[in-house]
Amino acid sequence: MGSALAALLIAAGLAAMPAQAGALRASVLSVGDGDTLRVREGSRIRTVRLACIDAPETSQPPHGASARAQLQALAPVGAALELHIQATDRYGRSVAELWSGGRNLNQALVASGAAFVYRSTIRGCDRQTYGRLETAARQRRLGVWASTGGITRPWDHRQARRHGPPQPSGPRMSQPAMPSGGGTRLSCRQIGSQARAQELLRQGSTHLDGDGDGEACESLRG
């Protein structure tokens, strides 16, 4: 661990915290991103999602790469860890707090500004300590807090990537142009409404695409 990071953890009160009783012992195999890693626990290999925090995604440069580097510094390949497992998520990952050398690594990432407190999964963690550490990081403009208000939260970033940016509505919504012969096909999402689809059909369009569903545009045909 770098001297600067160690000093930061000491200042945050994370230098001599007792490990949780009943924790599993494991060694680090690889670090995926700022809040996910793979470990070997006995003969078992686990993918671990760090509990109660959410680090920027790798698609959020430069903060995603920085968060991964922070976790790698705290838990390098081969390092011994103690896992306090809280749950198994829908992807089969062990959701856990990590401890190394008496330090809670989840809290260390929040203290350094490498990750946010993930309040939707804070149950099972020390809410007050996590909140205090995040407030201190925000006040010191560390990591994700370097800009006022911080960066886009990773949970909002993931949602935007899954569903796309919000679509405009009402009279300001632009209408797709009619493709020329043999031109680009229009998706049902681009068409936007049954009325517009019917208008295109009346104009003789054969460029309606079912977005891979086949039934989607059929329902717009009336």
Active site residues: 49, 57, 93
Q: Report the amino acid identity of residue 138.
A: R
Q: State how far the Cα of 111 lies from the Cα of 126, in Å rounded to an integer.
A: 14
Cα distances from 141 to residues 72, 126, 127, 149, in angstroms, run 22, 23, 21, 9
Would you say the C-alpha torsion 58, 56, 14, 28 has a positive or negative sign? negative
Q: Kindly calculate the radius of gyration of the chain based on its CA atoms and give it in whole angstroms.
A: 24
Q: State how far the Cα of 109 lies from the Cα of 125, in Å rounded to an integer.
A: 14
In the block, which residue shows the tokens 């103690």? 82
